[in-house]
Structure 1
Amino acid sequence: MQYVKGHENLIVMGDWNAVLGEGVEEKVTGEYGLGTRNERGERLIEFCNKFQLVIANTLFKNHKRRRYTWKRPGDTGRFQLDYIMIRQRFRNQILDCKAYPGADIDSDHNIVVMRSRLKFKTLVRKNQYAKKWDTEVLRNDEIRLKFSNAIDTAIRNSAVGSTVEEKWTWLKKAITEVGKENISTKKVAAKKPWVTEEILQLIDERRKYKHVPGKSGIQKYKSLRNEINRKCREAKTKWLQEKCEDIEKDMIVRRTDSAHRKVKTTFGDIKSNGGNIKSATGIPLLNAEERAGRWKEYIESLYEGEDLSDVIEEETGVDLEEIGDPVLESEFKRALED
């Protein structure tokens, strides 16, 4: 235990010849043990408290035949002696833990199985991110042809290895060197894609007047803020227009997959806006009857003064069998939602 660091995920398991018994021991055991605790069980509790461990197979409400791990010869007594323990800070990874008395193993003990889910955190040091090639420049025919010819030349001039590993090493080296010369790496973009260098410079300048005392500092700060907002609106409008033109070009040449990807990247998933229904004077309507009345007013205003005699067909002289069943309220609501 002393060689394992405190932040590491640790699992301790084995035959302890200790009976913990039923009853909760804070942060160490659950209430689903078996039997009556003995002296070795007390020592195991002390061990778990010292190293902040929790005993997994006492946490789940299983039948007693799924709790015992050893039975006395002649089946005169059943005991829970085998345990799986993990650190208390990783307790939420345990999905289930129980004994399998029917497992065919060469032992007088039952096998104990813990099912867990592990999620490892990606540790990335600050300002150390993997650089990515700006492959968008290869859409330019001239750059793509230059890049392809440079790779062909580099491969022909490279020393070919005898093994697969050596061949892959020099091929990777050739492509990487040509990429550095012909393709730049992606720059870290601003928080918003339409933010330009001019806007970033204005933001840096505005930051200088954030804590300047006096009216002059406040006025300068507000002036720069208004200018930044105006330029952001102009830059966003221009950026969206360019994106829409790019999407339209893809649709013209039937590159629908690229167009849909750009639409999703640019505009995101469309979410319906569930705003409140308001009256004609702008008061929110919370009552169902008031909402229905507002819908009635709205629809009547749409068709006000219209001659609907050619649109609405009256059911006169129609056989009852041809009319069909009346529309249910649930059918109407489903059709309205669709």
Structure 2
Amino acid sequence: MYEVEEIEEHFAPISGADINSISDESDFADDSCDEITSNVDENENELIKWTNYLQLNSDSDEDNDQDYPLTQSATLVQYSSSETSSDNEIIETMTLLCFLKLFTTNITRFGSWNVRSCYRVIKRELIVRQLKRYQIEVATLAETNIPNSGIYVVNEYTSIYSGAPEKERTRATHGAAVCLGPKASRASRNSGSIWRSVNSRIVAVCIKSQPIPITVIAVYAPVNPSNGLKVDIEACDEFYKALQSTIDNTNKDNIILIMSDFNARVGVEQASSAQSVIGKHAVDKQNKNGRRLVDFCLFNGFVITNTFFPHKPAHQTTWMHPKTKQWHMLDYILVYRKFRNSIQDVRAHRGATGGIGTDHHLLRAKVRIHLKCHKKTTETGRLKLDYEKLNNEKLVAEFQTELLKHRNNTQENNRDLFVNEKFTQFADYIREHSKEYFIKDQKYQKNTKEWFTHEIADIVDKKAKAYVQWQHHRGKIDENKYRNQYRMLVKTVKNKVEASQREYWEEISVDIENAVKDHDPATAF
């Protein structure tokens, strides 16, 4: 059996094999992708023979295709002397099918890495060596310190970089880059992919692959403004403003991956207020950049994939603080929520750090595109009620009144029924109508902490709406008004959460002390 790489090598030297030229003319439906890939598996040998034949006869004007011994089992390409299709069109069709197989059956590895400068050629070769070692096909590099913007090639790896102008170059030149492996480089060249240098911290590359284009955005965010300096705060505002503009100018139907060093820390406490963005495997305590990152993801529908996969702390954190010697998660991989299932795994690899002399670990993600939609099954489990609402005397009285009315209205009609049938009807009625009074709020149903009250939830909603209003009024006269409202709500949420947590732990401490005094160690522990 021939591998996909060998098939691509046959297609590489053929001119005119534009992948996207038949994307609009293809008669294949979306639900037939599985059938196409299975046909490629069954007829790889015949596909290689047919491609070799076309390469040998591409310069000939005579039609000698009828002399080629094509078997009846080769259902992938049906050709006869009466057909008018050119050789190039057939090659384009077969190339498209091979790329369909590549993206729907294989796992592609993406990487994110803060390399701490790759200005020297030797450093670039060391980086490429580590990417080959971990089989990474597409990688984003942060803090490259390369001035201007452009493209360079090292050992078949194509790097598209963006940095500060040469005249403004300093030690803190920042810089971001997207490094494409051999397969990704070939797909990018053949499909006419585009790239855009936004500024010295953001660069975007769109790979027009089939069946779904992939847009990779490499970023290098400013450091967290911990001291409250106005310069640092303005730098963070300018960065997220440029990143938002980049997302607005990107096709939302693409698979958008935002990767690299965000200099942000997201915590477990944010998993309660932003369940759709942060998973339960966050390891840090949130900071200001972390709040900005979560608000950006909520506004644009992104997911922080690092926090959804369980790993050891050594395989989650990517950077160690030089003073406190504590490890933190600063590098993230963001993806659109509708393509969340395409991310198979995300973890850090420590072995690559010493190979290039950086203080950040390499972050690698396994990506596989799912073309079929998984139907959600409705679970018919036990009814989950909000027990806090059961303590509400007003709700309980209203529910009892409704049950009494139902009993009086159905008492005459149920005289001929057996006791078991009456009980079943009554239980079903309670089950259905109790949802109107005591059901849990769906928005905060999962992973809700005891200290996360409804008051905090309402303020979090207001904060999210204020952020949306701020983004909608960017560059307008009243931008400062909406930005100040958002910042005020951020401080309010922080104070409310800290006060609620303090009150919650004080109650727990009092209960433990009382249990110890009553000689009840089971309750105390």
Larger proportion of strand: 2
Both proteins in one fold, TM over 0.5? no
For the pair shown, the structure with the greater C-alpha radius of gyration is: 1
Higher relative contact order (CA 8 A, sep 6+): 2
* TM-score normalised by the chain length of structure 1: 0.34
* TM-score normalised by the chain length of structure 2: 0.22
